[in-house]
Amino acid sequence: MRALVYHGPKNVSVDEVPDATIERPTDVLVRITTANICGSDLHMYEGRTDVEKGKVLGHENMGEVIEVGDGVDRVKVGDMVVLPFNIGCGFCKNCGAGLTGFCLTANPPNAGAAYGYADMGPYNGGQAELLRVPYADWNALVLPDDAREKEKDYVMLSDILPTGYHGTELAQVGIGDSVVIWGAGPVGLMAAMSADLRGADQVFVVDRQPDRLKLVETIGATPIDDSTGDAVQQILDATLGEGADRGVEAVGYQAHDHHGNESPGLTINSLIAAVRPTGRIGVVGVFVPEDPSAQDSLAKKGQFAIDFGTFFFKGQSMGTGQANVKQYNRQLRNLIHRDKLNPGIIVSHELSLDDAAEGYKNFDDRLDGWTKVLLHPDGR
């Protein structure tokens, strides 16, 4: 089969690799119709992780089931399915508690597994013609008959829509809350949609890229351009000096200031300043335990200075961690099916698998208009 393979920093190509196959009775085999390039894929692309050379990338995957293992009961050949990026077993302590992003079975001794990602187990990704899906009855979300018609929407259930929603859940966004989201990338935009879904009265999204800020307006939120002035002060001014009720971090450890300097603590410290006393912050941007390519000694160890004194003095609280996709994907699927949610509005480019390397480069270069890229390994 053909697949997008990592060969080193900023070096990916579409290669012939061995076909994905059924390996265990609980597996299914999926012919991938759409696989997204995620912003977190760029951490690997840029060489900022220890992902091994030869890894097939891609954790935002959707397609058609073409083969099922003997132990699979629910999922059938011909089903259109979307796969949570995190792989769970369905029976460990964490999966049983709904914490499927921290499965204790799929990637021992670590908590958590994923397709095609550094340190998340031996699983290849879905930027390929075929994908093996383990524990398929648990992991595969079967889609309604409009799956192909709304493919741009449903594929977002693999990661960014549940992750954005998870950010608002961690922040405990409720009816009438004001919300500030740092980062207008795909996850930040999904967090803004989710905040609106949960009844927020004001949603601010901070970024500095014009194409992303336009999308913020398109989805009905208020863009805050931090290249034109202090974003924290803009939030305080917009909330009569009080600060936002809730905050969501959707950037991660490769955050940059408006001068282009990398500062991994910038977004969290900005949220501490911009969220009101006793407010709550949800962190879903990716942070890592080690970053050997970072620019300072603390960041190399996955550490940064946090304004904990202000955080404590303001009585704020914070929730962190990757999304437990299965907590949300079924409900969000139903909203898409009933035309109450259209996350595919952020898609800027749809490419064939052959164009995947170019897609990575343009997305990583932050070229104007490259906001969300979908790959179609089925030849579209």
CA nearest 120: which of 166, 20, 202, 52? 52
**Same domain, residue pair 91 and 187:** no
**Same domain, residue pair 213 and 281:** yes
Of 320, 335, 365, the residue that ends a domain is 320
Of 320, 342, 366, the residue that ends a domain is 320
The total of structural domains in the chain comes to: 2
Q: State the CATH number of the domain containing residue 125.
A: 3.90.180.10
CA–CA dist 258, 256 (Å, integer)? 7
CA nearest 183: which of 307, 285, 41, 317? 285
Hey, what are 196's tokens?
Answer: 């609106």
Name residue 257's beta-bridge partners.
none
**Same domain, residue pair 197 and 79:** no
The pLDDT value recorded for residue 293 is: 80
**Same domain, residue pair 310 and 367:** no
Q: Which domain holds residue 366?
A: 2-159+324-376
**Same domain, residue pair 174 and 315:** yes
The pLDDT value recorded for residue 380 is: 67
Query: pLDDT (tens digit, 9 = 90+) per residue, 258-291?
Result: 888 888 899 999 999 999 999 999 999 999 888 8
Q: What is the DSSP string of 261-302?
A: -B-TTHHHHHHHHHEEEEEEEEE-S---S--TT-SSHHHHTT
**Same domain, residue pair 253 and 268:** yes
**Same domain, residue pair 198 and 288:** yes
Instruction: Sort residue 79 into left (φ over 0), alpha (ψ -120 to 50) or beta.
Output: beta
Query: pLDDT (tens digit, 9 = 90+) per residue, 128-152?
Result: 999 999 999 999 999 999 999 999 9
In 284-372, DSSP assigns E strands to: 317-320, 349-352
Cis ω on the peptide bond leading into residue 377 (within 30° of 0)? no
**Same domain, residue pair 136 and 169:** no
**Same domain, residue pair 366 and 247:** no
**Same domain, residue pair 232 and 88:** no
Of 320, 335, 356, the residue that ends a domain is 320
**Same domain, residue pair 173 and 305:** yes
The pLDDT value recorded for residue 182 is: 98
Q: State the CATH number of the domain containing residue 194.
A: 3.40.50.720
**Same domain, residue pair 17 and 152:** yes
Task: Give pLDDT < 70 ranges for the chain.
Answer: 380
